[in-house]
Structure 1
Amino acid sequence: MESNEESPRADIRAIEQDCARLIARYANLNDAARWEELAALYAEDGRMARPSAPDQWIVGRAAILAAFQARPSRVTRHFCSNIVIEVIGLDEAEGESAMLLFTDAGAPKVGSFHDRFVRTDDGWRFSERRGSLIF
């Protein structure tokens, strides 16, 4: 049985793992062009800014889905690493991750994501996902 000190640490580790899994799931769904499932990873009022346009927010799950559906078809493979999740509370967390993107349309791109997560009735979701490109 866990001590009282261990229980909060276990909660934090579980939140970190759930949010890191959300980042990986996002990359896999993006590469598979499974837009409905990808958009469902956002809170209903979540917002997203693509790495190529980090100051242009797309707000709301429906608008995020429409933005992905409007993209030209391409083959991609995203690699996410250096994932660090900071737990703010039992229902809120923030994270940062590095991203490497390969496409069939050009040179690889290196960037990062800064995320905010919220726990919903359906589990952890992105409340905000902001990408940026380094090179």
Structure 2
Amino acid sequence: MPISPADRLAIHELLALHGHLSDAGDFARFDEVFTDTVSYDLTAFGAGVVTGRDALRDMALQLGDNNPLAHHVTNIVVSPTGADSAEALSKGLAVNTDGTTGSVTYADTIIRTDDGWRISQRVITPRRKPLTP
């Protein structure tokens, strides 16, 4: 099923907005990015699955200064899965307060809601070894 250029652009902007809101600590606007029941899988980091937008906000607030200094998203590939759903695969780069950086892969399930496209599920996988899927 094809996806319109307008929807594709909206999804790209949705993924970019997450980093801007996170870096600004503007978690009150997470409703512009995530469904209220989002599943945010941090299992690869030992943090399990965070369920719900409020729980995701609370986790970020609890991390405080241990959050990355900056989030960047790139290499976005959108694959429609239905008229109102898509999967997005992207790369994330984080800059930490100590100057170190990290790279992750985001695997997102995105759905069209009454308010626009929102992430309903995100799985984050750290990149720790070259040439691995």
Shorter-chain TM-score: which interval?
0.7 to 0.9
Larger radius of gyration: 1
Moved more, 62-71 or 17-26: 62-71
Q: Say whether residues 1:111 and 2:94 are aligned partners.
A: no
Instruction: Compute the displacement of 1:105 (Å).
Output: 2.7
Unmatched 5+ residue regions in structure 2? Answer: 129-133
8 Å contact kept, 1:113–1:129: yes
Mark the CA change 1:40 to 1:64 in structure 2 (over 3 Å): closer, same or farther. Answer: farther
Unaligned 5+ runs, structure 1: 1-7
TM-score, structure 1 normalization: 0.82
Q: 1:64 to 1:39 in 2, by over 3 A?
A: farther
Per the TM alignment, residue 13 of structure 1 is displaced from its structure 2 partner at its CA by 1.9
Matched residue type, 1:130:
V
- Indicate if the aligned counterparts of 1:39 and 1:62 stay in contact, CA closer than 8 A: no
What's the C-alpha RMSD, in Å, of the aligned pairs?
2.2
TM-score norm. by structure 2 comes to 0.83
- The whole-number CA distance in structure 2 between the counterparts of 1:39 and 1:91 is 18
Asked if structure 2 preserves the Cα contact closer than 8 Å seen for 1:54 and 1:132, the reply is: no
Identity of aligned residues (%): 24
**How far does residue 40 in structure 1 lie from its aligned partner after superposition?**
4.5
Runs of 4+ aligned residues of structure 1 deviating over 3 Å after TM superposition are none
For 1:113 and 1:51, locate their aligned partners in 2 and report how far apart those are by CA, in whole Å. Answer: 13
State yes or no: 1:41 paired with 2:8. no
SS in 1 for 2:15: helix
1:30-109 matched pairs, under 5 angstroms = 30-38=22-30, 40-50=32-42, 53=45, 56-73=48-65, 74=67, 76-109=69-102
Counterpart CA distance in 1 for 2:47 and 2:79 is 23
